[in-house]
Amino acid sequence: MPQTKHILSNPLALFAAQFPDAEAVKKKRLAELCNQKEALKNQSRAIQTQTKIISRKIGEAKKNNQPATELIESMQTHSKQSRQLQAELKKVEANIQDFFSPGDDKDLAKTSSAEVDIDRRYCVTEDSPAKLSIELLVKEDNAWNEYVAGHPAA
């Protein structure tokens, strides 16, 4: 199996070379995933550019002793969007890599994720329509809160 970096550099050509007799449906699905990957990358780049601009504006506002709360809120929104796009991009890339895994004759696993706050991530897997499981992934660490409560100057 080729390395991840090699697969993601040009998945369509690699798939055509490795599986010349593949079904047209699989080729079409891979092409859709590649297009989705490129769109997500472009969106991510645009958000990173906006984030850099906002960051500079925040620096200028603080330098000039001006309020920057709106800029900071905007930065937080952009950062959240960027994290969501990166997570979605990883899912798309994993789906692309699935085309090259052994035993690819079965359909790709159907997985969807709901849009929620980044601190509350969960995934719904449709392996069996009668069986649905949702797992909330939350990591609580109270050590910092306890430290701050014990050291008010922190």
Contact 109, 123 (CB under 8 A): no
pLDDT for 69 beyond 80 = yes
Residue 72, number of CB atoms within 10 A of its CB? 15
The two three-digit tokens of residue 101, written as one number: 């895994």
Measured CA to CA in angstroms, residue 26 lies from 18, 103, 131, 141 at distances of 13, 14, 27, 44
Which has the higher per-residue pLDDT, 11 or 127? 11
Residue 58 pLDDT level (bands cut at 50, 70, 90): very high
pLDDT for 98 beyond 60 = yes
pTM reported for the whole predicted model: 0.60
pLDDT value, residue 112:
42
Residues near 154 by Cβ (< 8 Å), separated by ≥ 6? 147, 148
Residue 5 pLDDT level (bands cut at 50, 70, 90): confident
